[in-house]
Every structure is written in C-alpha cells, then in structure tokens.
Amino acid sequence: MSANKAKNSKPELLLRRGLWKAGLSGYRLHRRVRTASDSDWVSSTRHSSLTTHHSAVRPDISYVGKKLAIFVHGCFWHRCPKCSYKLPKTNSAFWQAKFERNVARDARKAEDLRNIGWTVLTVWECDLKQDLPGVVHSIHKALT
C-alpha cells in the first residue's frame, strides 16, 4: 500500500490537465481547510507527539474563493458505487474493514466541509476515464 500515491495520482493529474485546458485555473492543491471539528488540531513538530490528523481536511483540488472542494477518488480504494470491484480473497476481513474506514472517512470529510458552507464534489476515476469533458463541465457549472 505504500506505493499508492496520496497526491498527484494519475486520475488527479488527468483532471487537473482537463481543468487547465478548459481555462479553469486558480485552484489550490491539497490545501488544508479549517473545519468546525478542527479546534483540537495541533501542528506537528519534531518534539510533539500530540498531533491529531483526523480533523484535517485537505481536498485534492480546491477553489478557495468559491468554497468548492473537489476530491478525486480511485474506484478501488474508495469503493465506487458504479464499479463492482471485489474484495481481495486473501485477508478479506482486513480489506473489508479498511474499505469501510475509507468510505466513512470520505463521508466525514465531505460533511465537515459542507457544515462550514463549502460545496463538495467527488470525482470518480471511472468518470474521468469515460467522460473527462463532462466532469470538467460539471465543475465549471459549480464554479458559476
């Protein structure tokens, strides 16, 4: 799992390229957004072991002025409802729990952002592969 990139994944780069070509620049990448549940956040230092990262919300792409957060999700890791990926056969209990945690974390982060007035879009890897112009158009509509 350490080989799986959290930032600059292929689907994310594909979307960013599409946004750039459509003239929708001005976004920020992986920028931390303070949320209501963020009050217990402690910045990490070399000497502090009291850091909590569970409340940090870092959308893959954000338009801060428009309060638009975009999460680019891989279909396998985030359990796309349209794709029917099966659980790995080995250690299936571990994988089931991991995928459930991923989905719960995604929902919690989106809800935290909505609670402070942000619009949240989730872009799935399969949608980018099938209809990149349509995805870019939906982002353009959300920005206007």
Domains of the chain: 10-37+55-143 (3.40.960.10)
What confidence tens digit (pLDDT) does each residue in 63-77 have? Answer: 999 999 999 999 999
Residue 81 has pLDDT above 90, yes or no: yes
Residue 50 has pLDDT above 70, yes or no: no
Q: How far is 6 from 21, CA to CA, in rounded Å?
A: 24
Break the chain down into helix, strand, coil percent, rounded to 5.
45, 15, 45
Q: What is the mean pLDDT of residues 12-23?
A: 98
* Alpha-carbon distances, residue 142 vs 16, 38, 131, 136, 138 (angstroms): 16, 26, 17, 10, 6
Residue 99 has pLDDT above 70, yes or no: yes
Q: How far is 48 from 42, CA to CA, in rounded Å?
A: 9
Q: What is the mean pLDDT of residues 113-132?
A: 97
Q: What is the mean pLDDT of residues 16-26?
A: 97
pLDDT band at 51 (very low <50, low <70, confident <90, very high): very low
* Alpha-carbon distances, residue 72 vs 60, 76, 125 (angstroms): 6, 12, 7
Token reading at 106: 């995604």
Token reading at 37: 């549940």
Q: What is the mean pLDDT of residues 3-13?
A: 83
Residue 39: per-residue pLDDT: 54
Nearest to 85 by CA among 71, 72, 73, 69: 73
**Cα radius of gyration (the chain):** 16
Q: How far is 27 from 60, CA to CA, in rounded Å?
A: 10
Q: Does residue 9 or residue 38 have the better pLDDT? A: 9
